[in-house]
């Protein structure tokens, strides 16, 4: 399916508003989201049934040309089959009062999930390997539904929105930031998505808006942003100015209250799906109080990240951030909670699109660029710099500096030099020394203890086999 491309001078932006539905509207919202879940489960089961049937037939020795044909999982094919099945399947009798967009939401999600699985099997998809899509549980699935056609508008009073089949729903906040653009003709609504998050309903309007090209306050100044835990960000620019953004650590401030509320929840009678036990009213109240604290922490974290990224994007014309391996950093059990609370990935995501809005450029430094190990004065690269050493002491010059500030200065010099890989902050034309362990891991595999010729200590490196990725067509997909 061809991806939507905005018109020249326009960008696609989402506007999110909290809703205040009444009891009838709340039930209708849940019904639409349930219909999307039912359609998703039907599509996944319908496609996977042919895969399992082919697997069983292959075990019986049936030849390839006589096996059950593959069922397509494209969105048009799923729509066609679902329109036939819903007329005879008794499972869909109770869902007719919902909009057709609810079923289309589930079918589109199933088509995307199956396509990601197929591409992952063929080796055409980056990232972690994707498994076979599974059915969504009624109790654990996230409530969401997307509308692309029908009556989707923001009312002129700026306090109500209208959605297909759901009617007019009051918003918790004013919608003027989008309604003004719609009235001026500088915005056009593409779709609307309702979602239940953090104990309340939200609606997100995806709109094509006309954005005036802006210029950063200091377009010729480059900035390096070093993310950390002690300081959320150390910002150093090419003119020598350094700022330390403190880490709010919202979760740490709420831990004491969370521990107390969690003890209350654990001491009360909760739900048990195995025995059919229903939660007590006191458990529901305690669990809601605990969730409110989590929601408040998440909102405060997002607010702080938005303010930080907006300030950086609006001030500097060029910036560099590190390509952090956040998933690997979370394996450190002593720092995992603080790393998650900082939101490194969200900061990079917001900087990426906000610098595009302001006309700036954001570069991603190579993951193995030794920003912390490189001296920002003379360019010498240390071989080792443990995490517990918080001050950088250069071995070739008298520089003594906080390691985060030193890393930020190196990233700022990298931005000023127009590089995204290796380089030295003090001299952009100089090359970093290739000391062992300075630019990447010192050892890929554990050395053998057995003595052998040709190496000191008798260690023989383990030979790695090259991974062979065989192209797999649709007919070659398997379930294991």
Q: How far apart are CA 33 and CA 289, in angstroms?
A: 25
- End-to-end, the C-alpha distance of the chain in Å comes to 28
- Contact indicator for 195, 201 with CB cutoff of 8 Å: yes
Query: What is Dmax (Cα atoms) for the chain?
Result: 83
What does the alpha-carbon distance between residue 86 and residue 165 come to, in Å, rounded to a whole number?
19
Instruction: Report the run of H or E that residue 82 belongs to, with start and end.
Output: helix 75-85
Instruction: Count CB neighbours of 232 within 10 A.
Output: 22
Please choose, from the candidates 347, 320, 169, 154, the residue with its C-alpha nearest in 3D space to the C-alpha of residue 248.
347
d(CA 276, CA 411): 57
245 catalytic, yes or no?
A: no
**pLDDT score recorded for residue 471:** 35
Q: Which of 101, 237, 322, 405 is catalytic?
A: 322
**394 neighbors 378 (Cβ within 8 angstroms):** yes
- 3-state SS class at 147: strand
Check residue 133 and give its pLDDT. Answer: 94
Instruction: Say what the pLDDT of residue 387 is.
Output: 85
β 144-147/187-197 pair status: antiparallel
What pLDDT is recorded for position 2? Answer: 67
How many whole angstroms separate alpha carbon 423 and alpha carbon 403?
Answer: 18
Angle at 36 between CA 201 and CA 2, to 5 degrees: 100
Residue the block writes with tokens 């403190």: 246
Residue 143 in tokens = 């409530």
Residue 320: CA atoms inside 13 Å, Cβ hemisphere, count?
31
Active site residue 26: no
Concatenate the DSSP letters of all residues of 248-294 into one string.
Answer: --HHHHHHHHHHHHHHHHHTS---BTTTTBPPPHHHHHHHHHHHHHH
3-state helix/strand/coil string of 300-358: HHHHHHHHHHHHHHHHEEEEEEECCCHHHHCCCCCCHHHHHHHCHHHHHHHHHHHHHHC
pLDDT of residue 458: 37
Query: In the block, which residue shows the tokens 């967009």?
Result: 101
CA 176 to centroid of chain Cα atoms: 28
Structure confidence at residue 477 (pLDDT): 55
DSSP string, 163-230: ETTTEEEEBSS--HHHHHHHHHTSEEEEEEEEEEETTEEEEEEEEEEE------SEEEEEEEEEE-SS
- List of the chain residues with pLDDT < 50: 419-476, 479-480
Is residue 322 part of the annotated active site? The answer reads yes
The backbone torsions φ and ψ at residue 246, rounded to the nearest 5 degrees and listed phi first, read -65, 150
What count of other Cβ atoms lies within 10 Å of the Cβ of residue 449? 8
Active site residue: 226, 237, 315, 405, which one? Answer: 226
Q: Which of 101, 237, 315, 404 is catalytic?
A: 404
Q: Crossing angle, helix 281-315 and helix 344-357, to 10 degrees? A: 40
């Amino acid at each position: 399916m061809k991806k939507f491309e905005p018109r020249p001078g326009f960008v696609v932006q989402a506007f999110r508003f909290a809703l205040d539905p009444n009891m009838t509207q709340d039930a209708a919202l849940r019904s639409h989201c349930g219909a999307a879940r039912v359609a998703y489960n039907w599509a996944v089961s319908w496609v996977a049934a042919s895969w399992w049937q082919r697997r069983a037939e292959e075990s019986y020795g049936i030849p390839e040309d006589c096996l059950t044909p593959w069922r397509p999982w494209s969105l048009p094919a799923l729509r066609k089959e679902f329109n036939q099945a819903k007329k005879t399947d008794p499972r869909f009798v109770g869902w007719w009062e919902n909009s057709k967009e609810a079923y289309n939401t589930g079918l589109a999600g199933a088509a995307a999930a199956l396509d990601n699985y197929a591409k992952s099997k063929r080796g055409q998809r980056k990232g972690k390997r994707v498994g076979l899509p599974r059915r969504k549980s009624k109790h654990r699935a996230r409530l969401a539904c997307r509308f692309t056609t029908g009556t989707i508008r923001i009312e002129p009073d700026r306090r109500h929105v209208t959605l297909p089949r759901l009617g007019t729903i009051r918003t918790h906040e004013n919608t003027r930031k989008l309604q003004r653009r719609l009235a001026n003709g500088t915005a056009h609504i593409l779709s609307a998505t309702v979602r239940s998050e953090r104990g309340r309903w939200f609606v997100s309007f995806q709109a094509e808006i006309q954005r005036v090209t802006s210029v950063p306050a200091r377009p010729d100044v480059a900035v390096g942003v070093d993310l950390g835990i002690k300081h959320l960000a150390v910002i150093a620019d090419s003119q020598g100015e350094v700022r330390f953004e403190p880490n709010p650590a919202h979760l740490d401030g709420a831990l004491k209250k969370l521990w107390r509320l969690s003890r209350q929840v654990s001491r009360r009678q909760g739900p048990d799906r195995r025995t059919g036990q229903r939660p007590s009213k006191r458990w529901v109240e305690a669990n809601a109080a605990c969730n409110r604290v989590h929601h408040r922490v998440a909102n405060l974290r997002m607010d702080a990240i938005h303010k930080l990224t907006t300030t950086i994007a609006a001030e500097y014309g060029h910036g560099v951030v590190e390509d952090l391996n956040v998933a690997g950093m979370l394996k450190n059990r002593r720092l995992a909670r603080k790393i998650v609370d900082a939101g490194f990935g969200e900061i990079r995501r917001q900087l990426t699109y906000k610098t595009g809005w302001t006309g700036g450029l954001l570069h991603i430094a190579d993951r193995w660029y030794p920003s912390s190990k490189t001296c920002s004065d003379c360019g010498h690269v240390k071989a080792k710099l443990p995490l517990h050493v918080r001050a950088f002491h250069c071995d070739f010059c008298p520089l003594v500096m906080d390691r985060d500030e030193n890393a930020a200065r190196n990233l700022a010099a990298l931005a000023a030099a127009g590089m995204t890989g290796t380089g030295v902050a003090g001299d952009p034309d100089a090359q970093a020394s290739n000391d062992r362990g300075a630019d990447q891991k010192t050892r890929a595999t554990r050395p053998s203890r057995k003595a052998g010729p040709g190496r000191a200590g008798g260690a023989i490196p383990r030979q790695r086999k090259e991974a062979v990725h065989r192209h797999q067509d649709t007919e070659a997909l398997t379930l294991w």
